[in-house]
Structure 1
Amino acid sequence: MPEIEADPAIPTLEGVVGHSWGEDVSSHAEILRYLEALVASAPDRSKLVRYGRTVEGRDLVYVAISSAGTMARLDEARAENLRLADPRSLGEGEAERLIEEAPAVAWLAYSVHGNESSSSDAALVTAYTLLADRRDETTRWLDDVIVVIDPLQNPDGRDRFVDAHRRARGAFPQSAPRATERAEPWPGGRYNHYLFDMNRDWYLQSQPETKAKVAAYLDWQPQIYVDAHEMGANNNYYFDPASDPFNPQITDRQNDWATRIGRRQAGQFDRFGFAYTTREVYDAFYPGYGSTWPMMQGGIGLLWEQSGVRGLVVDLEDETALHYHDAVRHHYVSSLATIAAAAEGRSDLLRTFFEGRQEAIERGESGETPDVFLLPGKTPNRAAELAALLVANGIEVRRLAAPVTLEGGAAVEQVAPEGAYYVPAAQPAGRLAETLLADRQEMGDDFIARQLDRKARLLGDEIYDVTAWSLPRTFGIDALRGTPVEEPDSEPIGEDGGRPGGSVEGPDRPTVGYLVPAEDEAALDALSSWLRSAYRVHVVDRPFTIDGTSFGRGTLLLRTAQNPDSLHDAVRKTAEEFGLTITAIDTSFVDEGVGLGGPNVAWVEPPKVLLAFEEPVSPFAGHTWFLFDREWSYPTTRVAAPSVAGPLDLGDYNVLILPDGSYGDESGFDADAAAKLRRWVSDGGTLILVDGALRWAIGEEIGLMPTERREVPVGPVPGEGLASDQAEGQEGEGEEDEADSEDADAPKQSPRPVPGAILRATVYDDHWVTAGLPPSVELLTQTGLIVDPLDPTEGRNLVTFDEQDEPASGFCWPDTLEAIGRSPLVLYRSIGQGHVIGFTDDPNYRALSPLTQRLFRNTVFFGPGH
């Protein structure tokens, strides 16, 4: 760093941890130790804040750095920035004063993917420069900007990577791309403890690291948020402006600022001769990225991608080598360029932020954006969970104290009932609320046409992540949209989403037992608790009515006679804990429907769950592990997948989950393994096959699920020529296209996977796997496994995608959408005394869909007893 005038009182990285910038991959402990020393050396200009802890107990921290004057009033400066974030809180002229006088806030966040390591080391040299450099230029930056540096967003993943790298390397760094020092063992360091990609988790906030980060963000509301990453070694460097598609909630002024900062970066990269690109590969559509969610808040979200070394040096395809210190340097230069741009454009940056949030309010006040009302219906706990999630995203949510009539949004008059959740559009976070709650967000006709054109030319698509995410749809919550005819009588809700209180109705100590309705997932939360406490529970597979009250499929029954006397207190405690309305009964005599002592009542045999892990299983099996651990509170045993196929005795378990993965002979999953699993199922086991595991199971030699994969013609399909030709009306009207004729010998292939769209589906309503679900659902799917329905003599198709002209939300390839019609998502067959249940898509992916998770939980908890 020859350009800076370093203050010798500020410690270097080498002086604290023993290696210099870019000479080694710093661990979480080394990063923390250095930052503590750095802040201790300049306490008047910096502050270290611990804002959370990871699953494995590592601290999440950021360092705030600014001028001594600003740091002396840091809390006041932060409070002023939060006032700027809510234009409703400012008096006349106060906004203009803050825009002219207040510092901007630039938040630089590094290494959300643990093995994308260079950015965290760049964070350290950036913090050092800001505190050590005595040049006037750096001093001016800190007069105008509060720089918040989050050096490491994923400490657990990084330490997993660092540990593997340091164990594998020798005396001399190995540059070969396949050298063991960069060949991470499963699952790699990209993900957190539960193997989530936390750069997809911003609005879902399933992980504690994300929850803490979003809370810290909302505590500041920065004008700039940078998310620094790495990509493949043979790329160069990417910074914004982004590629299309753009989320329609991103404004032109925000894109102009992203371009302005990108030009500042480009100037520095050109100066040093660094190669880079913009407007390619990385879009700004999905709101769960670290670079797009801040845009929805009115800030400027930015993405950087540096080619990754995954060690200290790597050979490239062009016969050059990339050194780790070079990767660190590139992110360091980007960091300083961004801070400089923020300082130079401080007042305009603040104005863009303020006016963006003001415009969000005005869009709601004018009716351009409708208010949203979420209806709890029969799933009040799920609705409360959704409302709480919105609040955690910084969105204002209220609860109706009285019904309200709406205008607009429907052909008939709509009335939102008392107790509905009210999300006013006129709020500073209105754009985020709109993108999360709208039925769909359009990607743009030009972008879709280009993708169809590329597909017709047998080229890969440019869709980077899911194309749909509507929270009411993915949660299965009905929503009304419109403008209230009068100001609603409502109260703001708290962080718990206004979860309903629980109660037990009926006699205090019933002679027969207790009934728990099945529609709300909280019933299964209670079931987990009761099973862990060794209470005996039964499930009623068909509807019935007793004492004038109707109960649906999947109702839980706790019999007084089969449980200890402590049952009564346990039921009341559980009802309160989980917000359940439980009915106590003194008679089993039903008014109609199945009897409570008949063959349609099954004991819930406590599941003993075996979860296959490690190669060849996808790391996303961690999502299922997470749900068992943190959401469902039920234990699992995780074992190496090859042992399941080989020597492991399965007799101690009654549920076996084979998650998505690449199963086959090479990993021991051959015909002999299939025979072993078949014997275990026949003896009463419940085998759950997810995506890749189901793909393996339908193979002819395996035969665990008697179906076949569907195929479509290779190349253009009927009605889907080149998009450019269709746009010009060149579809050959009046003549039969060769592609329209059936040709049994034409080459075929599996359809392209659904690119993350929400599709309509029908639920088979006479099976315990689908208990608690309505007859029609809308499900987010990315499935690439499209299969024929099972013959009724061989099994049941429990959830089947409808034939549909377009997705309920998002985009889907026309031939894929046609192929998936009447194709099952969930398949069931019995073998002997046991069950095989197949999911063509991962129901627990990203922990985002309560509906598919419910299907999965039913298989786990109800399978062993049926």
Structure 2
Amino acid sequence: MKTTQLLTFSFLLFLFSISSILGQDYFFKDKAPFISEIPTPEEFLGYPIGEQHTRHDQIVAYLTKLAEISDRASIDSYGKSHENRKLTILTVSNPENLNNLPNLKEQHLAFTKASINPTNYDDVPIFVQLGYNVHGNEPSSSEAAMLTAYTLVASNSSEVKAYLENAVVFIDPTINPDGRDRHTQWANQFKGNPLVSDQYDAEHNEGWPRGRTNHYWFDLNRDWLLAINPESRGKLKWYHEWYPNVVTDFHEMGTNSTYFFEPMKPIGSFDPIMPKENYEDLNNLFAPYFSKALDNIGSFYFTKEAFDGTYPGYGSSYPDLQGALALLFEQASSRGHLQNTDYGTISFPFTIRNQYVSSIATIKAAVENKARLRKYQQGFFKTAEADVSKNSFVGYEFGDAYDNNRNKAFIDKLLLHKIKVYKKGNRYVVPVKQAQKRMVQTVFETYNKYRDSVFYDASAWSVANFYNMKYKGLKSISLGEEVTSIERIVNISKVSKSEYAYIMDWDDYNAPAALYYMQSKGLLVASAFKPFSITTSIGNKSFNYGSVLVPVSKQKKNIDEVFAIIKKAQEKFSVPIFSTNTGFSSSGIDLGSGNFRKLETPKALLLIGEGVNSYEAGEVWHLLDTRVHMPITKLRMSRFNTVPLKDYNTLVMVSGRYYQLDSLQRKKIKEWVAHGNTLVTIANASKWAIDKKVVKEQLTKKEKDTSNTKIVNRLPYVDAGENIGREQVGGAIFEVDLDITHPLGFGYRDSSLPVYKNNEVFISPSKNPYATVAKYTDKAHIDGYISIDNYEHYLKPSASLVVSSIGSGRVILFADNPNFRGSWYGTNRLFMNALFLGKHVYVPRVRE
């Protein structure tokens, strides 16, 4: 993590070399004696902790070794990363507790059930989950995980034995192994001998995309709520099996910082979902343990001034909505092995030691307050199932009649969070009164008033809006059959063979994937640019804008081969496909109409590399890889001059500075677009295209003050950061009015669409009346914080999606990110339309 916090204290000056502090005593001399048969990390790895960065497989191997030779530990896997690295949990306690773990688990889970009222709060060992290294290039914590595991498994001190008797500790050493190993390789390969502490050395400055993120460049510390990646889905499955009482989230921040532990800044919302007891009482209860541990080793730290737990998808906030106490730690990073700071040098071992002592302090605090923590968890779940107040909704009803695969994806998310869902006719109902009441609130509730105006991350997260899932609150509720699996959400009629044509609905979320599959197998397809109704194998059926036509007689394949491809596409993606034996429509266009337009197979480039937003680039890559199953060429900026653009019909540019593209290269792009191709720009890339005059569009400007005098009032200097920060749009949800007759709007039935905005890119509506595809509505605010000035003078007059012509080609400018964090199923379709229908997106000329 990063912080803009200006700190007055930092590290003590290290006047000795790294080699003199790498011994075992530097970390845990006060935990002796140790069992000699248990190898230290140094003995197992062949080098002292902190001398170099340890690969994930070595960490897992060491923890596996501890579990093999000690009766205090066992190891399990909860999944694999995208790159097939194992995700592991080391469970540590005394042998009696481990042998009795199933029974202890049952006793522990009794405190999470409102129908059971145990009072043995102090009798059951406290469950503590230590989570490390969710950001791959914040590596100190995984090294500390090995030290913590060794201490608990090997120490025979009375202190550690008491911890083992009174706690079950779950150690997750590397939450993001793909990112960690990317950074580990970088740091080790550029390590000098002697060490180079110069901040400008390559060791301290990773190449793009850096190791913070996972394989698809996602920030896994934002993924607990959204659960897009296997690392998060595996962890959530584990989490809802165990419901630990305390959860840690270890991070790193800027090199010139010190150390941070909770409490954080006050929570941003006026009416937070999280109980007040959590963020006021329990955080303050634990803080003295951390301060004492760090005081004992001479480390400086700060609290309360930075970070916030407003967004519920962090490792330090999601567990708070599950009756636990989640704790954030931030260590100044050495970003390598040794680096200069304003107060001397900071070493990798120093960063590791701070994380280690905080780990042990967490266990100590949990053990000494286990009765209070258990009573709190019990109260958390009891209040969740208490009666809802008379003025509140008792449930929510939702469901899209035209897109069952989007319904399925949304329900899958609800079930992953253990939210109870019921099917009532063709709709779905979620009651508020249930164990996961706070998660129900997280999914459906929206907010517009906040205590603070500066957020560490998003201020809006109503997941139903992510999915464009229209829903309504219920004052009374009638439950149908409980949905316990997504297996039967999508029920489609199997397509029958036709000698004439097949038609696929474009409304379904999976339709683009099915389309690309057909194209990749050599089928010629067309898109309906007007609606129609026609007789199909299941009777007369109406088809919306964008419906895909596969004319059998126009194919180079025979009837059986065409049917085999159609059948396979339906089986793979569960999309509605229908056969017809006539081209005559009962209403609307006939199948031979010129309003059916042949679609090109997308051949897409995505610009990546230094200066490009890796999050947004990863979101595009992930969407096409995992849902559309369509390849996209990821082109490094340094290779731009060598690529034959003529071989591609689509170029995607996400947010970035694009300083490498000079006037000649920008000319090259414009000429390529003018030949009939499609440039898709997202967020700040759209601003770049406007600023660099690639297109003739404009950014929204605030009306000038026409008065002759402008009085500038003096403001307190200390408030500057707050005042400036409130003008940033950190992440909020707004409503746009979408032209559903425009090719970019195909597949939508409702012109009202939620979009996510986390930038200050405000595009003026096009001067051409047909080119503004989506515009913010007069009452655009749905959820999250935006300043009055930004809302009234910039956002409301602006467009969210504009098309600009260049020759016979077009630039599709998104002001917002349609693929944000892999979760915006509601706006993904806009982006996919840009790829698949881009060739047919043009701006009609009007008389000026």
Q: Output the TM-score relative to the length of structure 1.
A: 0.87
Query: For the residues of structure 2 that align with 1:474 and 1:101, how far apart are their CA atoms?
Result: 43
- Tell me if 1:535 matches 2:523: yes
Q: Secondary structure at the match of 2:735?
A: strand
CA contact (8 A) 2:191 2:337 kept: no
Query: For the residues of structure 2 that align with 1:421 and 1:338, how far apart are their CA atoms?
Result: 42
Alignment of 1:211-610 (within 5 A): 211-246=233-268, 248-255=272-279, 256-317=281-342, 319-364=343-388, 370-400=394-424, 418-438=425-445, 440-441=446-447, 444=450, 446-447=451-452, 451=453, 462-484=454-476, 487-496=478-487, 498-504=488-494, 508-547=496-535, 548-563=540-555, 564=557, 565=559, 566-610=561-605
Aligned to 2:621: 625
Q: Secondary structure at the match of 2:783?
A: coil
- Tell me if 1:703 matches 2:694: yes
- Tell me if 1:96 matches 2:111: no
Aligned to 1:838: 813
| CA positional deviation for 1:223 | 0.8
| CA positional deviation for 1:113 | 0.3
List per-residue Cα deviations over 1:836-862 (Å, max 9, x = no partner).
211122222211212221111001111
| CA positional deviation for 1:765 | 3.1
2:64 to 36, 42, 51: 36
CA contact (8 A) 2:600 2:839 kept: yes
Consecutive unaligned residues in structure 1, runs of 5 or more = 401-417, 452-461, 726-748
Aligned to 2:788: 814
1:144 to 139, 150, 166: 166
Distance 1:553 1:47, change over 3 A: same
CA contact (8 A) 1:711 1:750 kept: no
Structure 2 letter corresponding to 1:782: N
CA contact (8 A) 1:238 1:278 kept: yes
Aligned to 1:636: 632
Query: For the residues of structure 2 that align with 1:603 and 1:298, how far apart are their CA atoms?
Result: 55
CA contact (8 A) 2:396 2:472 kept: yes
CA contact (8 A) 2:248 2:327 kept: yes
Q: Which moved more, 1:230-239 or 1:856-865?
A: 856-865
Aligned to 1:154: 176
Q: Secondary structure at the match of 1:3?
A: helix
Aligned to 1:414: none
Q: Which moved more, 1:541-550 or 1:556-565?
A: 541-550
List per-residue Cα deviations over 1:146-184 (Å, max 9, x = no partner).
000101111111111111111112211111222211110
Aligned to 2:135: 113
Aligned to 1:454: none
- Tell me if 1:766 matches 2:741: yes
Aligned to 2:676: 684
Structure 2 letter corresponding to 1:374: F
Query: For the residues of structure 1 that align with 2:456 and 2:600, how far apart are their CA atoms?
Result: 43
Aligned to 1:744: none
Aligned to 1:23: 51
Aligned to 2:89: 62
Alignment of 1:791-802 (within 5 A): 791-792=767-768, 796-802=771-777
Aligned to 1:80: 107
Aligned to 1:736: none
Aligned to 1:731: none
Q: How many residues align?
A: 791
| CA positional deviation for 1:704 | 2.7
Structure 1 letter corresponding to 2:624: F
Q: Secondary structure at the match of 2:503?
A: strand
| CA positional deviation for 1:751 | 11
Distance 1:340 1:751, change over 3 A: closer
Aligned to 2:647: 652
CA contact (8 A) 1:154 1:209 kept: yes
Q: Secondary structure at the match of 2:782?
A: coil
CA contact (8 A) 2:442 2:463 kept: no
Aligned to 2:221: 199
CA contact (8 A) 1:469 1:780 kept: no
Query: For the residues of structure 2 that align with 1:541 and 1:852, how far apart are their CA atoms?
Result: 20
Q: Secondary structure at the match of 2:397?
A: strand
CA contact (8 A) 2:132 2:141 kept: yes
Query: For the residues of structure 1 that align with 2:288 and 2:462, how far apart are their CA atoms?
Result: 34
| CA positional deviation for 1:552 | 1.4
List per-residue Cα deviations over 1:807-830 (Å, max 9, x = no partner).
111111111112112312211123
Q: Secondary structure at the match of 2:148?
A: helix
Q: Which moved more, 1:560-569 or 1:69-78?
A: 560-569
| CA positional deviation for 1:607 | 0.9
Query: For the residues of structure 2 that align with 1:723 and 1:423, how far apart are their CA atoms?
Result: 52
CA contact (8 A) 1:720 1:814 kept: no
| CA positional deviation for 1:721 | 11
Structure 1 letter corresponding to 2:823: L
| CA positional deviation for 1:368 | 5.2
Q: Secondary structure at the match of 1:96?
A: coil
- Tell me if 1:852 matches 2:848: no
Query: For the residues of structure 1 that align with 2:126 and 2:712, how far apart are their CA atoms?
Result: 51
| CA positional deviation for 1:125 | 0.6
CA contact (8 A) 1:365 1:425 kept: no
| CA positional deviation for 1:366 | 7.7
1:785 to 761, 771, 796: 761
Structure 2 letter corresponding to 1:156: D
| CA positional deviation for 1:100 | 3.9
CA RMSD of aligned residues (A): 2.6
| CA positional deviation for 1:364 | 4.4
Query: For the residues of structure 1 that align with 2:756 and 2:195, how far apart are their CA atoms?
Result: 45
Query: For the residues of structure 1 that align with 2:711 and 2:260, how far apart are their CA atoms?
Result: 34
Structure 2 letter corresponding to 1:807: H
Query: For the residues of structure 2 that align with 1:509 and 1:54, how far apart are their CA atoms?
Result: 41
Query: For the residues of structure 1 that align with 2:347 and 2:599, how far apart are their CA atoms?
Result: 58
Aligned to 1:826: 801
Query: For the residues of structure 1 that align with 2:700 and 2:664, how far apart are their CA atoms?
Result: 23
CA contact (8 A) 1:373 1:420 kept: yes
| CA positional deviation for 1:576 | 4.4
